[in-house]
Structure 1
């Protein structure tokens, strides 16, 4: 969906650098210092409008959350939602995180969320999928010991591809769920897309994967 241009976005970002952090690379290895505590840091890649992040921050005040979103017009919407919720354990990055190792140090992140990522269905675009090998290499380096990648999607093809990609990379699975809402997980926080698709009867797929030895 094409995003509506927000002419006020630049001004908003300049006025809220305490929340949407500029020049994220300068904070590599120092994210806990920026939060002002020693709580574990979880990262959502592709935050969208922020519903998942705000819900998780409310449910887990003992965790620091960072949301990464490339589209400026979307990240300001997420930022407004965070400000309204008044959560202190969320930071946002308006970044094209092509290499997360430029932003996060080895072992700095406790968990990575991939929610309803672009499936890039054409084979020639496989390298853009966030579960492609080159991305898994990055996740492996920035994740701490026992760190997880938690992946949710409505796209069966992307889910199957990702399971194979995880396996071929040597990752192990803590969970593979082909109909997440059927189990009525009370801790599941839905994204905007998840609400939309599940309302139409579309099954939601989730898996939790980790790197042995990390």
Structure 2
């Protein structure tokens, strides 16, 4: 669905200190940005922010970074942070393809990828956020033994992502083709997940751990 352009969104984002519009200058210094040495968890493709907001409220001693491209989406994330007076989240408006420019080695302790674009055409598969190309990028800034939590409703993406993870040196610690009927207890639903689960969608989920 095409988002209507919100010309006022960028000035409002830039006016809030939780929004980092030049993230590359923070590379290697994210602990200083948060003012503490707490672990930093990263969500790639945060949508309107339900997931990251609930995570931040549940775990106040963890720092979170939410990344997405569109100001029209991120303005809703900022609204949630303001409403809940959340200070342990930073928002980065950027193309995820440049994510390696933002973090130094061992800066990230956990990574979340929720319902990313499945890019089903063969010529586009390298754009998948779980493709080996991206997983190898993440290895440049995640700590040893870091977990990547990945959710999707696309079975082709899910099946092939399992191979991507194994090819890239990750152990599959947990795999389910129906998350909501599994014994996994720590799920937080995204806006997309909440809407389409009610319409009968099955959520597939895996945890890959860097060896």
Question: TM-score normalised to the size of structure 1?
Answer: 0.95
Number of residues of Structure 1 aligned to a counterpart in Structure 2: 211
Question: 1:87: which partner in 2?
Answer: 86
Contact 2:109 2:147 (8 Å CA) reproduced: yes
SS of the aligned residue for 1:124 comes to: helix
CA distance in 2, matches of 1:140, 1:52: 23
Question: 2:57: which partner in 1?
Answer: 58
CA distance in 2, matches of 1:10, 1:141: 30
Deviation (angstroms), 1:210: 1.6
Contact 2:18 2:87 (8 Å CA) reproduced: no
SS of the aligned residue for 1:3 comes to: coil
Question: 1:148: which partner in 2?
Answer: 147
Q: Which runs of 4+ in 1 moved over 6 A?
A: none
Which stretch shifts more, 82-91 or 40-49?
A: 82-91
Question: TM-score normalised to the size of structure 2?
Answer: 0.96
Question: 1:105: which partner in 2?
Answer: 104
CA distance in 2, matches of 1:111, 1:204: 20
Contact 1:148 1:209 (8 Å CA) reproduced: yes
SS of the aligned residue for 2:65 comes to: strand
Alpha carbons of 1:8 and 1:99: their partners in 2 closer, same or farther (altered >3 Å)? closer
CA distance in 2, matches of 1:158, 1:73: 26
Question: 1:173: which partner in 2?
Answer: 172
CA distance in 2, matches of 1:10, 1:202: 34
Equivalences for residues 165-204 of structure 1 within 5 A: 165-183=164-182, 185-204=184-203
Contact 2:176 2:182 (8 Å CA) reproduced: no
Question: 1:7: which partner in 2?
Answer: 7
Question: 1:37: which partner in 2?
Answer: 36
Kindly indicate whether residue 81 of structure 2 is the aligned counterpart of residue 74 of structure 1.
no
1:24-46 Cα shifts (integer Å, max 9, x gaps) = 00000111111111100000000
CA distance in 1, matches of 2:44, 2:134: 11
Contact 1:99 1:138 (8 Å CA) reproduced: no
CA distance in 2, matches of 1:97, 1:130: 8
Alpha carbons of 1:14 and 1:169: their partners in 2 closer, same or farther (altered >3 Å)? closer
Gaps of 5+ in 1: none
1:66-112 Cα shifts (integer Å, max 9, x gaps) = 00010111111111111111111111000113132210001100011
CA distance in 1, matches of 2:44, 2:73: 13
Gaps of 5+ in 2: none
Deviation (angstroms), 1:15: 1.4
SS of the aligned residue for 1:141 comes to: coil
